[in-house]
Structure 1
Amino acid sequence: MSAASGMLVADRVKTLYDKMKVASNKEERIRLIVFSIKDNMIDVHEDKIYKQCDLDCSKIDCFDQFKNHLCAKQSLYLLYDCHFEKKELGTQEDLVFAMWNGPETSIKNRMTYCSSVSAIKKCFPGIKHDIEMTDFDEAATRANFMEKLNVTDVTSVEGKPLRGCM
């Protein structure tokens, strides 16, 4: 796939998104994918695809795994299947697309990711939450992250309670 910015998107990006949306087996469900730009191509970053069974085995929840990929000197795109509970509505599952530009990322890298974001977004029709992040505080806590998504009345994220939020 190509884009107006001239950035190519690997075919497997759309295929993985489709698999993420239609999960038949809970354990094999894709919960998080990390993407990066290399050689003018947006593709999965170092094969960083996390299924529910991977997260269960490592005993780390998906939100914490998401946070672990946010590095000060790096830019990334992330697609996260976020599970949270709301007071009146119970369990919700929303796909979140995030563009991360770390606070120490070079200007050139920031510009590359910002100018290419439309290319990868075209592969993800129907994404409910689309955010840009540049500061660790935006995902420092589950409450901060839900605030960034503009989601209110949340009681927990990935089964862990929010404290003193919304």
Structure 2
Amino acid sequence: MASGIVVDNNVKQLYKDMKLKKSVKLAAFQIFNSKKIDVKTKLTEQEICEKGKDAFEEMQEQMKDDECAYFLYDCHFQDAESRAKSQLVLVIWSPDGADIRDKMIYSSCRDRIKEACAAKCTLEANGRSDCSRRALSEQLERITGVKVLTLEGKPCH
């Protein structure tokens, strides 16, 4: 079904910028015209702070209950030893309320976006509870092997 859908070079470049330059804090990707995965939005930490939110809250706000999307999020967290860490997290958002055809397309492109973003931590979410601070911290704990106390300075549990 998803044959022919490609990851646009804009996505690949944005991933590199997020990893190396730390210029963008949160990016949303969407499949456009059933042809390519491309950047829908990108926000710096300053742009997010100006809205009075942290990056996690902004990502949750951008998640529509009837629209699939991919998010690349530069997650800052603190571990049990009070060390500040960061990890790029790929969130695959496929809400229960989305069109079944869109859910199938986004699901079939999952490996392409994972390969393009090379994020060590991936979170697949079908509803708000799947993408809570607690759910993300548990996924980070599985990946990093350390207890996560806070995400973006706020408690996880």
Whether the TM-score (by the shorter chain) exceeds 0.5 is yes
For 1:39-86, what per-residue CA distance to the aligned partner results, in whole angstroms no more than 9, with x for missing partners?
A: 1111012xx101111112222100101111222111000000000000
Q: CA deviation at 1:8?
A: 1.6
Matching residue of 1:19: 17
**Which blocks of at least 5 consecutive residues in structure 1 are unaligned?**
none
Matching residue within 42, 45, 60 for 2:37: 42
What is the Cα-based RMSD across aligned positions, in Å? 1.7
> What is the aligned counterpart of 2:147 among 136, 153, 158?
153
Letter in 2 for 1:155: L
Instruction: Identify the residue that residue 122 of structure 2 maps to in structure 1.
Output: 130
Q: Percent identity?
A: 30
1:112 is the counterpart of 2:112 = no
Structure that is richer in helix per residue: 2
Question: Are 1:102 and 2:56 counterparts?
Answer: no
Paired position in structure 2 for 1:77: 70
How far the C-alpha of 1:150 sits from its partner, in A, is: 4.0
Q: Which amino acid aligns with 1:58?
A: K
Opposite residue 37 of structure 1, the aligned amino acid is I
Matched residue, 1:139: 131
- By how many angstroms is 1:122 displaced? 2.0
1:55 aligned partner: 48
Q: Is the 8 A contact 2:141 2:147 kept in 1?
A: no
One-letter amino acid matched to 2:38: D
Instruction: Provide TM-score, normalisation by structure 2.
Output: 0.88
Greater Cα shift, 148-157 or 11-20: 148-157
Q: Deviations over 1:12-51 (max 9, x none)?
A: 1111111000126xxxx21110000011111012xx1011
The CA deviation at 1:161 is: 2.3
Unaligned runs of 5+ in 2: none
* Separation in structure 2 between the aligned mates of residue 21 and residue 148 of structure 1, nearest angstrom: 19
Secondary structure of 1:67's match?
A: helix
Q: 2:3 aligns with which of 2, 5, 12?
A: 5
The answer to whether the 8 Å contact 1:131/1:149 transfers is no
Instruction: Classify the secondary structure of the residue corresponding to 1:30.
Output: coil
